[in-house]
Amino acid sequence: MKAATLEDVPAPVDLMAGFYAEAGYTLNREHAAGVRGMTVEAAPDNAPAQKVYRRLGFAESPNGSCSRSRWRPHRRKSTQIKARVKPNASLCRHFNAMTRRQFLEAAAVPAAAALLERPARAATPEYKMGIATTSFSGNFPGPGGRGRGAGPRPVADTSIFLEKCQALGAAGIQSALGGDMAKLRAKAEEYGIWIQGMSQVPRNGDMAPLEHAFANARDCGATVIRSGMLSGRRYETFPTLEAWQDWVKTSQAALKLAVPLAEKYKVTLAIENHKDWTAEQYLEIFRTYQSEYLGANYDFGNNLSFMENPMEMAEAVAPYVKSAHIKDVAVQRYPKGFLMSEIPLGRGFLDLERMMAALLKGNPNLKFSLEMMTRDPLKVPCLTDHYWAVFPGGKAVDLARTLRLVESHQSAAPLPVVDNLPRPERDKVETENVEACLRYGREHLNL
């Protein structure tokens, strides 16, 4: 039978289309109903959508279909919808005889009730990648967002960030955990979104804040808490080698107290390579404690600033990886070394596919959180004496190899500069960058 256009659909069907549109759906013109009575489809687990159809006189087909959806959430692309529903037989018999007025009288009340349950998105997320709060700075009210160089914000209600990421189509979140954990867990389960926490490991001996974070993780269903031992960068934070070595001793003592808490709550503590540890020092942490609840949160780009190859480090860390920050990096030379800038996935020089494959070999269930930090380029002053003061045993061959890598992949275009943009413009650029990363992940990385 020849498929009809939207204009060919009988008046009552056109009216019904209006009800679906009001309920958050839109008719795909390429698949407009070409049969009397109109066929629509909805996901079996999308209960609100099923209620809309039933209240408008439709009943589930006994031999459900697995074809693509004709009705889709109009905010964004929807998930595939799998169970076909078709018109109630009695409605079909009288369908052509109904006037618009009769149809309005018959359907207005249930349609109005259905609007109260309009679905924002199907339960299956649009993408497979999660988003870390560090992808957003500025005035975003959720927890863990970055201020302008001020570090993590106080923990607020994590459900705010969950809602933001659900609207973007993300599969998960990595965030500090605050608010009502039962509510957060229920929302995450409703949306089909996974949760990973964020927390610092205290170095003053008081583990109460970390224990509270572990308890929150347990209560909201998170199985991982990401932590960075150092909030800054090693070559900027420590003026001398002695200052760095004192910090290492304090951090090792803190980890001795933190690991038993992870084991108590059965929540993995994932330590990030946060421009603090060299690859060998990083791996030594996991060899020392050998706990199933301690592992790595591997950041794809950070250790380039230590003259270390990101691909080689991914292969070395793979046996211990529990979570990951996926990002891409662009580089340029500057007089004191080189500049690093996070840019949307696929626009930098990192071999994302190979790095992912190496990590997944070590942990097939690994979840990737996007860390798209929209900010001015970071300076890596690797041609200064101060930089090398905190890297004893640094090798000239590593410096030479890294500078060759930078020069061979140097960005032809200027690296993005955003710190001085008005707040609304910067927020807009951040969101556009995150959306570009999500699309690239789905189209090229199976994320």
Confidence of residue 290 (pLDDT cuts 50, 70, 90): confident
- pLDDT(190) > 70: yes
Mean pLDDT of all residues in 82-98: 40
Domain extent listing, the chain: 6-115, 130-444
Looking at residue 440, its pLDDT comes to 98
pLDDT for 24 beyond 80: no
Q: Are 299 and 253 in contact (CB under 8 A)?
A: no
Which pLDDT score, from 0 to 100, does residue 30 have? 39
Answer yes or no: is pLDDT of 277 > 90. yes
Provide the pLDDT for residue 68. Answer: 31
- pLDDT score recorded for residue 50: 52
Q: What is the DSSP letter of 334?
A: E
pLDDT at position 365 is 96
- What lies within 8 Å, CB to CB, of 113 at 6+ separation is 55
Question: Which CATH class for the 130-444 domain?
Answer: alpha beta
Distance from C-alpha of 168 to C-alpha of 370, rounded to nearest angstrom: 12
Q: Are 292 and 286 in contact (CB under 8 A)?
A: no
Q: pLDDT category, 47, cuts 50, 70, 90?
A: low
pLDDT tops 70 at residue 257: yes
**pLDDT tens digits, residue range 104-155?**
444 444 444 443 343 444 468 999 999 999 999 854 444 444 444 334 445 6
Percent of the chain having pLDDT more than 70?
Answer: 68
pTM of the model: 0.72
* AA identity, residue 63: N
- 46: pLDDT strictly greater than 70: no
The share of the chain scoring above pLDDT 90, in percent, equals: 65
> Is 39's pLDDT higher than 90?
no
Q: Residue 263: what pLDDT?
A: 97
Mean pLDDT for the stretch of residues 100-104: 45
Report the pLDDT value the prediction gives residue 156, as an integer from 0 to 100.
Answer: 78
Task: Provide the token pair at 69.
Answer: 């959806």
User: Which are the contacts of 89, defined by CB distance < 8 A and separation ≥ 6?
Assistant: none
Provide the mean pLDDT of the chain.
79
Separation CA 417–CA 413 (nearest Å): 12
Residue 96: per-residue pLDDT = 42
Amino acid 376: pLDDT: 96
- pLDDT tens by residue, 209-230: 999 999 999 999 999 999 999 9
Is pLDDT of 100 > 70? no
Separation CA 103–CA 140 (nearest Å) = 45
Q: Band the pLDDT of 193: cuts 50, 70, 90.
A: very high
CA 76/CA 273 separation, integer angstroms: 35
- For residue 98, give the nearest of 6, 15, 2, 7 by alpha carbon: 15
Q: CA–CA separation, 273 vs 310, rounded Å?
A: 11
The answer on pLDDT for 403 being more than 80 is yes
